[in-house]
């Protein structure tokens, strides 16, 4: 969106820009105007959202453009000037800041367009007879343009023509590659003297300039489908982000493994504690059984002593009989006690055997649960690894352009869309040189062979 306040101190350029963009509506691959209007204190204009200008991209890579980038930038700029000249206007302010990418991402991010037509001027007028003709030149005019890139006609304050736009374009390309000798100078007189000392090439026509540029592009094997150098940095940034995400996922997996190992150790410790408690209970039972046996033996001894003291009043025979009876009783009781001890021992042996069998069963069950847990854990781990290693997953890299997976491996951009005119050629096999003209028809040869004269 562009807004201009109504003020007598400044020139009103927004109306001129709106007028030119409305005339360019019928042209292809230009800045489209969406809405415009005038309010009490200002006028406004809404256009399609563009990407970054060439000055910002040059500062981003912090060096001059290489030949592959500069040649393509020149051809796109030449195409934009051709469209503007065909509707009867001269731009008069061609510079890197007024050449932008058509979008930040996708197919249009590699297409360059001209912007800022506020300083443009019509070089065609309609005569009294209704026929169009060249506009008469003015003797003296104020400075229009940027001193660094403008032609000598601007320094001499004479009228600018279509050739002046081409000279500004050539200065722009030189600045973006090797730099201009007067780039750091701000005084106009010094810049003017340096421009006079340098020999400018003779003025070319559109077709001749395009032929020279395409000859250089073919010689250097440049393709318009290749990524620009500023896109390489964005690809590297996205690759770093993906690598960091993978490292974080691996750390999370390691944490999960450590947590599962801790849980297994805790389970083993709990089982060992249960076994120790069972052993303690068995020892306490054995100790209580021994106490009960001692009590029974003490009672028997007391009974024997009372029986001996009662026999003192009886006769010898009676004592003998009673002694025999006591011996028989004691022998019977001893047999009973021995039988009770044998039974108790048998019962304790059975309890120990059952406790050992239970412990073995618990250990077997624990080993089964361990193996089951391990199988479950390894199945989980295998699923997570395989799901993250699938190519084309949700975490695939998004570059500065819409790309295919093969495009990322080869760093060769594939066309994401074609014009309507190329729908009939889908089944045809294009060569790499022909394919760039199908994706970007603006640079095709037929767009430069036919020139519309607006007068």
93 is catalytic: yes
Q: Which residues contact 234 (CB under 8 A, 6 or more apart)?
A: 399, 400
8 A C-beta contact, residue 266 and residue 440? no
CA 48 to CA 32: how far, in whole Å? 6
Q: Three-state SS string across 89-142, please? A: EECCCCCHHHEEECCCCCHHHHCEEECCCCCCEECEEECCCCCEEECCCCCCCC
Enter the tokens of residue 205. Answer: 């026509």
CA 147 to CA 85: how far, in whole Å? 22
8 A C-beta contact, residue 173 and residue 164? no
DSSP string, 350-389: HHHHHHHHHHHHHHHHHHHHHHHHHHHHHHHHHHHHHHHT
CA 343 to CA 345: how far, in whole Å? 5
Measured from the Cβ of residue 398, the count of other Cβ atoms closer than 10 Å reads: 14
Enter the tokens of residue 166. Answer: 């081409």
Q: Please tell me which residue in 53, 93, 108, 116 is annotated as part of the active site.
A: 93
**Reduced to 3 states, what is the DSSP secondary structure of residue 143?**
coil
CA 362 to CA 357: how far, in whole Å? 9
Q: What is the set of active-site residues? A: 93
């Amino acid at each position: 969106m562009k807004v201009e306040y109504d003020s007598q101190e400044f020139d009103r350029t927004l109306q001129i820009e709106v007028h030119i963009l409305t005339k360019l509506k019928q042209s292809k691959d230009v800045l489209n105007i969406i809405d415009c209007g005038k309010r009490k204190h200002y006028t406004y204009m809404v256009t399609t959202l563009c990407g970054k200008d060439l000055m910002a991209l040059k500062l981003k890579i912090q060096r001059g453009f290489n030949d592959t980038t500069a040649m393509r930038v020149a051809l796109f700029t030449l195409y934009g000037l051709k469209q503007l000249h065909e509707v009867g206007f001269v731009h008069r302010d061609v510079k890197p800041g007024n050449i932008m990418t058509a979008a930040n991402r996708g197919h249009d991010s590699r297409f360059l367009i001209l912007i800022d037509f506020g300083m443009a001027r019509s070089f065609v007028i309609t005569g009294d007879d209704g026929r169009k003709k060249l506009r008469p030149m003015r003797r003296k005019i104020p400075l229009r343009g940027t001193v660094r890139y403008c032609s000598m006609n601007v320094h001499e304050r004479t009228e600018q023509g279509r050739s002046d736009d081409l000279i500004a374009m050539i200065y722009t390309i030189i600045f973006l590659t090797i730099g201009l000798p007067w780039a750091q100078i701000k005084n106009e007189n010094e810049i003017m003297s340096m421009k006079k000392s340098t020999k400018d090439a003779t003025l070319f026509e559109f077709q001749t300039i395009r032929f020279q540029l395409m000859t250089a592009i073919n010689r250097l094997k440049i393709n318009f489908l290749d990524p620009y150098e500023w896109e390489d940095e964005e690809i590297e940034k996205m690759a770093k982000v993906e690598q960091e995400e993978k490292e974080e996922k691996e750390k999370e997996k390691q944490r999960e493994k450590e947590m599962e190992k801790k849980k297994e150790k805790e389970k083993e410790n709990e089982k060992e504690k249960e076994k120790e408690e069972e052993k303690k209970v068995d020892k306490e039972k054995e100790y209580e059984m021994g106490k009960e046996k001692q009590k029974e033996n003490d009672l028997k001894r007391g009974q024997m002593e009372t029986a001996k003291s009662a026999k003192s009043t009886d006769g010898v025979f009676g004592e003998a009989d009673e002694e025999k009876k006591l011996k028989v009783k004691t022998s019977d009781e001893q047999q009973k006690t021995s039988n009770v001890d044998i039974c108790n021992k048998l019962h304790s042996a059975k309890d120990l055997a059952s406790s050992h069998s239970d412990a073995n069963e618990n250990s077997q069950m624990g080993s089964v649960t361990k193996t089951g847990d391990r199988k479950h854990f390894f199945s989980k781990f295998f699923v997570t690894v395989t799901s993250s290693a699938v190519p084309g997953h949700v975490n695939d890299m998004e570059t500065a352009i819409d790309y295919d997976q093969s495009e990322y491996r080869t760093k060769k951009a594939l066309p994401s869309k074609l014009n309507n005119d190329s729908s009939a050629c889908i089944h045809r096999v294009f060569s790499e040189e022909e394919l760039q003209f199908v994706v970007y028809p603006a640079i095709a040869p037929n767009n430069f062979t036919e020139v519309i004269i607006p007068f």
